Structure 1
């Protein structure tokens, strides 16, 4: 009890204790989710076609019976966290676990698994040490591994594949709304997808707008051996050195990877590439503070991504005003923000 003798004081303190423990142990949620994906639990429930009991789930997982209690306990936590629902007959999928089905086009399993990759997790172990280092341009990732993340991608094929698969799975979510972005691509004949990886976004755009001609610009080791087609080409290069001319230059989830200084360099290169065509730059990224109403989960995820960019690279998530300063410094005259579903917004920037 507090000194004033009120039992509410103790309850408040114990509530604070639970709050601390929840956040200190949040990695348990991440690891249990990754384990469920590794074991294919969402796919097994989906294939079962009806609510599944623990014994049936253990049998489908081909696990020894003595693991039944352990499976029950992780299913209890995952159900509490909204990944499954428990009915009288057994467990069923929710909207979240349906997004983890490996048999579906919208499948975020590679992204969820990548976020607990040991190479990434090592960065968090040295975050406190990173704060004490007097190296303004480095990241905690570089402190942990001795090189920036992009260099590790170039030398570690397993990590590079996990990264590309994770980003491609995230890009598939754009399939849900790209067809509604006709006004963004109106009057655009050629588009360069800067940092476009394996070309997933360009492929989705071409599905909706087949008249376009898209070029994916990324580092040589990323685009090597990527299959081309009539309207989709790949170009290995350094976006800081040169961006091919086009009607539109697209940066999807690129700006948040880089410092303000580097973003200005990229935007200037993008402006040079579209100025002759009187085109525009298209940015798909998070905009801090752009949430409508009480969207606590979305706000929290944007703040988490902001710290994630600080730890893994040298970037950040930005407010509209912070984006505006970058645009002005890069020589652009005006911009338009188009909120899209989910965490990100489309920003059209004009010279």
Structure 2
């Protein structure tokens, strides 16, 4: 093969490679252009009630059983349409988004808890044990454990979340349901905003000592305040809408927080507004009055 033939072959190969790269790039552009179809498909599935139907079925469900349970008239046409709808939903694994979300939550927690530890050391003084409800990324418990080695920290979360987590000198992990059981401790950290808040608070009340014995409930959460600067309050409003749409929850004013604490049986609280959008709560439980008290 002559030198010229080799040059022509290499030139053609380069041209083919360039075409392949352009076609791959074109496919990626189409993917970005049509990516909204993922969320629209999910919306369609929710409007049809597919998640509830599968959940209520209680076991593996065939496509034909799913179609028969749907409120559609033309079952034959529906079979093909639902198959194609479910195909795109099962293809959208979402593992990358899950990792990004978890890391963003961990990053947020690192910033918040480092500020709390630096500026609110008194919140943790005198504590011997602490439970982090829905500890998830374990960021809060690890930070507290490192800063206060005398505190034994426990992370409580669902079994599959804490499975495989290795404890340390003063950090341990418990798999469970916070609506049923919370390990005894002097202080409990949690960040929860939904209709079950009082149930959680009552469970917390069962496990912590009274105020005179050093027990306290520590909450890091938003306190809605229209007297803040415009941007900060607007961000709190955004968070409230996110809670309403995403988890059927809400952000609360100090008055609404106080009502929750009272309804759950707590007697006193203190707010430390050092986190701009969020505040640190110390919630206390006074000992019950003697039975012969009049």
Look up the match of 1:303. Answer: 237
Compared with structure 1, are the counterparts of its residues 218 and 160 closer, same or farther at alpha carbon in structure 2 (3 Å cutoff)? Answer: farther
User: Structure 1 residue 248 and structure 2 residue 184: aligned?
Assistant: no
Counterpart residue number, 2:250: 316
Q: Once the 2 structures are TM-superposed, how far is the Cα of residue 227 of structure 1 from its aligned partner?
A: 2.1
Q: Name the structure 2 match of 1:136.
A: none
Match of 1:89 in 2: none
1:274-315 CA distances to partner (integer Å, 9 max, x unpaired)? 0376511111000001754xx222111111110101111121
Quick one: distance in 1 between partners of 2:258 and 2:135? 23
| Pair 1:163–1:236, CA change in 2 (3 A) | farther
TM-score with structure 2 setting the length = 0.63
- Which residue of 1 is the match for residue 141 of structure 2? 202
Q: In structure 2, do the counterparts of structure 1 residues 334 and 177 end up closer, same or farther at CA, with 3 Å as the change threshold?
A: closer
Relative to structure 1, the CA distance from residue 240 to residue 284 in structure 2 (aligned partners, 3 Å threshold; closer, same or farther) is: same
- Structure 1 residues 305 and 122, CA gap change in structure 2 (3 angstroms): farther
The equivalent residue for 2:225 is: 289
- Name 1:100's counterpart in structure 2: none
1:178 corresponds in structure 2 to 117
- Given that 1:223 and 1:235 are in contact with CA atoms closer than 8 Å, whether structure 2 keeps it comes out as yes
Query: In the superposition, relative to structure 1, how do residues 327 and 177 fare at CA in structure 2: closer, same or farther (>3 Å)?
Result: closer
2:153 to 197, 210, 214: 214
State the distance in 2 between where 1:201 and 1:177 align: 10
Q: Note the 1:51-130 alignment, pairs <5 A.
A: 122=39
The counterpart of 2:202, out of the listed 257, 268, 289, is 268
Per the alignment, do residues 183 and 237 of structure 1 end up closer, same or farther by CA in structure 2, a change over 3 Å counting?
A: same
Given candidates 233, 238, 244, the residue that maps to 2:177 is 238
Note if 1:335 corresponds to 2:269.
yes
Deviation at 1:237, TM superposition (A): 0.5
1:157 positional shift: 7.5
Q: Does 1:193 align with 2:132?
A: yes
Query: Paired residues, what number?
Result: 211
TM-score (norm 1): 0.54
| Unaligned stretches of 5+ residues in structure 2 | 1-21, 23-34, 56-92, 286-294
- Please list every run of 5 or more consecutive structure 1 residues that lacks an aligned counterpart in the other structure: 1-63, 65-117, 134-141, 149-155
CA distance in 2, matches of 1:143, 1:206: 45
Partner Cα separation in structure 2 for residue 299 and residue 144 of structure 1: 37
Instruction: Report Cα offsets for 1:178-213 as digits up to 9, x if no partner.
Output: 222111011111000011112101111123222211
Contact 1:198–1:226 under 8 Å retained in 2: no
Partners of 1:291 and 1:298 within 8 A in 2: no
Question: Which among 319, 326, 329 is matched to residue 260 of structure 2?
Answer: 326
* CA offset digits 1:248-296 (Å, max 9, x no partner): 1111x32x2x11xx1110000001010376511111000001754xx22
| Separation in 2, partners of 1:299, 1:209 | 33
